[in-house]
Amino acid sequence: MTQHRMSLTTAADTLAAIPALLGFTPDNSVVIIALADDGNGSHLVAPTARVDAHQAEAAAGIITDALTRQDTPVTAVILAAIADTTHAGAALIGLDAIRDALAAAGIRTIRALHTYSLTAGTTFTDLDRFTDGTIPDPATTALATARTADGAVIAASRADLEDRYAPSTEIPESLALAAAATMGTDFLPVTFDELAAVIHAREIPSADLTARVGLALATGHLEVRDAFLAMSIHGDADAADAFTRIAAPLRGTARANALTIAAYFVYCTGDGAAAHAALQAAERTAERANVPLPSLTGILLRVLNAGMPPEEVKGIGAVITPDYIAAHIGTVQSYT
């Protein structure tokens, strides 16, 4: 994700920036905006995390562990409880628990806020300064405008984010099996090249191509699945979009793998919330189909929970070299 300058000078600025920072508008949550000292008297925004209001107190230790393991040391945080009257009590207790755990680790809380929702005009309270204010329109912040210009979509809610990874009408595997019988040994390299061309051109994968990618992902050969991580050379965001579309009409192992690959690419763009939603969809898919959860899914879940920076996540795909592709896919034109 492209880094953009933003103002977190005021409480109003901070709350309005949260949807753009997370990639969706949270509710009944505690949000943790981690900050690192840039050495010039300013702060850099490090990971931004969200936890459900009723899970925040229990998650205080996990959040603290994740923030203390960052490559760029986190020196401070801004905490925000975004919760309605039903959930505010749990959110505020959780916020205090997180604040205490972070303080014990030497990370100070420079601002603690509460609001009922992140809607323009909603009143917020600065819990330490005992002052109130109103939230400006989050959609018009400089950060939201910049992220939208980069092609990011800021979901209206967590549910809308999860809907991106919902299944659609199934494409029968027979479509891919017929293609495989006709193409023979060309099946994998041609499928790989066609998908690379589609991602590079920012096109929508056809039903035929989707079915063929699904068959390749359903074989259980981890090397074949991992080879698709090489699509990062055509852009992580575009690769994430393609695999999100491919996953929708697939089922079982193929869908779980496609969702996991989409999660990998979207995490590499810096969108941890969308990556988590895709991984959760992969978990549901495996459970409902009674198939093993892909090993990469578990790895990425652990990586995400640890707050690993996207730049380090990209390293997972570093082994996918031209030689790797040739060995497991065959000779291709798109990655040589």
Query: Taking residues 210-225, what's their average pLDDT?
Result: 93
Name the pLDDT band for 335 (thresholds 50, 70, 90): low
Q: What phi and psi, each to the nearest 5 degrees, are found at residue 52?
A: -60, 145
pLDDT at residue 5 tops 80: no
Query: Taking residues 288-314, what's their average pLDDT?
Result: 90
List, for residues 258-300, the tens digit of each pLDDT value: 999 999 999 998 888 899 999 999 999 999 999 999 999 999 9
Give the tokens for residue 321. 């070299």
- Could you give the C-alpha distances from 286 to 82, 166, 267, 280, in angstroms and in order? 32, 14, 21, 10
Neighbours of 174 (CB within 10 A): 9
DSSP 201: T
Q: Compute CA 187 distance to the chain's CA centroid, rounded to the nearest angstrom.
A: 31
Query: Taking residues 10-37, what's their average pLDDT?
Result: 92
Name the pLDDT band for 1 (thresholds 50, 70, 90): very low
pLDDT at 2: 40
Percent of the chain with pLDDT over 70: 95
pLDDT at residue 3 tops 70: no
DSSP 155: B
Q: Please, are residues 215 and 173 in contact by the beta-carbon 8 Å criterion? A: yes
Residue type, 299: I
Mean pLDDT for the chain overall: 91
Least confident of 86-100, 104-118, 132-146, 181-195: 132-146
Whether the model pTM is above 0.95: no
List, for residues 66-79, the tens digit of each pLDDT value: 899 887 889 999 99
Q: Rounded to an integer, what distance in angstroms lies between the CA atom of residue 322 and that of residue 262?
A: 21
216: nearest Cα among 250, 242, 166: 250
List, for residues 168-198, the tens digit of each pLDDT value: 999 999 999 999 999 999 999 999 999 999 9
